[in-house]
Chain A
Amino acid sequence: MKKFIAVLLAVATCLSLTACGGGGGTGSGGGADDNTIVVWTLAEDLKDFAEHYEEATGVNVEVTVIAPADYPTKLNTSLGSRSSEVDVIVGEPQMLPDFFDAGFFADLSEFDAAAQEKLVDYIYEAGKDEDGVLRALSYQVTPGSVIYRRDLATEVFGTDDPDEIAKKFSSYDEIVKTAEELNAAGYSIFGDTGALRWFANSEAPWVKDGELQMTQTRLDYLDAAVELYQNNYVAFAPEWSAAWYASMAGPLPFNAGWSELDEVDADAPTTQVFSYVMPSWGALTIRDNAQDNKGKFGVCKGVSSFFGGGTFIGVNEFSEKKEAAMDFVEFCTLNEETAEWWIDASDGDIVSMKSVLEANKDYENESFGNQKTYAFFMEEAENVDYSLITRYDTAIDTAFGQAIEACQKGEKDTETALKDFYMEVQTVYPEIKVPEA
């Protein structure tokens, strides 16, 4: 009897430990049945897509959302051991080259012709590996824009016309002049100088033929960032800070930094932020935070066309349910009805399907004073040059940002900061040839 109880307890312990190991997220592949596909994603969006897919096909989809900072490590650990616990995987553009190299994304060549025909060019290009094999697709495009306050534009510049305001952002020199005008009127051009970074990579990729490219645009970016910072032309409300969000709804304390607004001295001087430089999903951020300012925004072109982020979907190379996973990917990215549904479900996300973009080009966005934002983003998406993206961008952008910060704070002169920047790039990536400082 005692032996029986001991065996029972041992089995119960093992089962409880197994149950612990299987937890985490909204679902796990270990227990998925044959009619269930498992999705690991960075974006909540895919939960909506999964529900829509379940309604349409009856196939169960388990979605686990993983924080972007943890996602590459989790994918590398799991798929590095050729795990089949996940069927559908995703990646942001800067992650894709490494994931493709690792062999995690299955061949989607059977969708090649449809993707080329139906999707915006840069989405099709971004989804291909170095050998030109299609491995991932996206349901959205994320072209960028300058989002500006129409009321402040009318007050300071006498017009809120997007074409006229675009001239104020046509180059880094123009941006500095515009900042000066706005400052004289008591406004800040941006939350902080980070907004300038989006245009910096428009002339050449960071690395071309194994050499680091220090273009004039990047040097102009450095100069403009230093000038805006040192002359207090920005509000010193960093992107994603409480003050930055608050700035969309009205005045904010000048130089609030990362502090919570209730921590800030009530008597601190205030300012208003004139504009934000963001990819298309930024329009949703504005919509959600503008409060009484809803309808007072406009979108226009900046120094150059750019894009940022976006979720690309693919199939785990080691999945045992590749057919089902591919069907899910096709449903999310190459189906016109899904794209139409997603515009409504997301309340205005910009889809990647050309025919649907075309059909919605007259869509008037309430948050932007009924401006036809779809038509604008459609044109910008066509201008995106994907060949400017490299696998080194995240690390090099960070290092260049630190060099700029050192110049802004007066810790280093431009020459020294660039020299240190080249040294850092050379140290981290010995294979890259850097310019002589």
Chain B
Amino acid sequence: MAKKKTLNNDDIDEKKRLELYNSQYLIRFAEQRAYDLFLENLVKGTSHLSLGQEAIAAGFATAMQVNDKSFCTYRGHAHTLARGASVVGVLGELMQRDCGLMRGKGGSMHLTDTSKGVMGSYAIIGAHLPMAVGSAWRAQYMGHDDVATVFFGDGTTNIGAFHEALNYAVVYKLPVIFVCENNNYMEYTPIESITAVKNPAADRASAYGLESIIIDGNDADEVYRTAQVAYSKARSGDGPSLIECKTYRQSGHSRADPGAYRPDGELDHWKKNNDPITRYRARLIEFGVKQKVIDGIEANVKRVVDEATEEAKNSPVPPEEILTTNVYANGGWAWRN
């Protein structure tokens, strides 16, 4: 990358940078809120947070068109929020309330908001990669200009669907972006200890004739720039990209995981020296953004999340009559006459 840029000669203008910061800060604050609500026993079931990984969701979503499609994993709160889904809808779903995006029928691992292009969050590793490929096939087939982006973790690179989807996407030159969030751990196990190659996604790229792309996933600018190139390539009919984003999960794998397997000091090191929010805040200051503008963004996010929390807390649980709705397209569940 070019040496230090100023606001005047930079390819990312201040407006875009503030969007990127707002998005990252919203994800950070909402995820922390989700954690707090879990401690209050208001978030039920399980949840998988993206604390420390915010720059990837923010960078890609900011580079997307409105009609682009996102396919997420069970660690999908960040990507759903980054597309502009309602915070009440997200927190409400985590709290399994009637105001949730799916009225409590999906839960934390299946956040979906098709009105924002979030085509679902999937909890079986690898399944959504072929689905994103299918969305891209539809775009190519019908002459639409949207691109499908599929986000997944490093652990996904060792499952068959990853390889089937990549081969398929390359063979038919489909407009789909595969984004690997390499946060160092496959659940509780260090990814390098169970993967044949050092870079679990990027080192597989050549097997599918793709460029090996590794980026700093904790730098929202780098993510945003890389995403722009990939979207431009996909929209020009030049096919898929596979991008490995190096990052670090600051929370456990799920709410049940305190992260005891981490070497001493590792978490502190990442939090102190390579936190995406801290880094981006410093960059904004460096580029001359006034502290009060940053404070304003943060205060606004806090207000939005606080209000959403209250609204979700006050929302009723889903009515029992929706138990049997939307099993089939006729709205019901009847399997016999």
The answer to whether A and B belong to the same complex is no
- Which residues from chain B sit less than 8 Å from chain A, CB to CB? none
